[in-house]
Amino acid sequence: MKKSVVLYPGHGVGHLTLMIELDKVFLQHGAAVTVVLVHQVPRLLCGDRSHRGVQSVRHLPRPAAAASCSG
């Protein structure tokens, strides 16, 4: 059974860059890696990601504003 890793970087390009480097390490050890994002991806990561080591990038929609609990 192949091991899977999900990476969830913070909201800065620096965090995303580090997660992609970590992604490469997991790939070298045979793990399937998914990077989950809730923010816009910089253009440099769009398109063909094969040369950067990223297997899968998933975009999750931002949640709607939480309802107020006052009452």
Domain boundaries, the chain: 4-59
Instruction: Say which residue, 70 or 36, is predicted with more confidence.
Output: 36
Residue 52: what pLDDT?
Answer: 56
Compute the distance between CA of residue 3 and CA of residue 48 in angstroms, rounded to an integer: 24
Name the most confidently modeled range: 5-14, 27-36, 41-50, 62-71: 27-36
pLDDT, tens digit, 9 for 90 and up, residues 24-60: 899 899 998 888 877 666 555 555 555 455 667 777 7
- Report which of 64, 38, 16, 25 is spatially closest to residue 5, judged by C-alpha positions: 25
Compute the distance between CA of residue 27 and CA of residue 6 in angstroms, rounded to an integer: 12
Residue 23: what pLDDT?
Answer: 86
Task: List the 32-37 sheet strands across, edge first.
Answer: 4-7, 32-37, 56-59
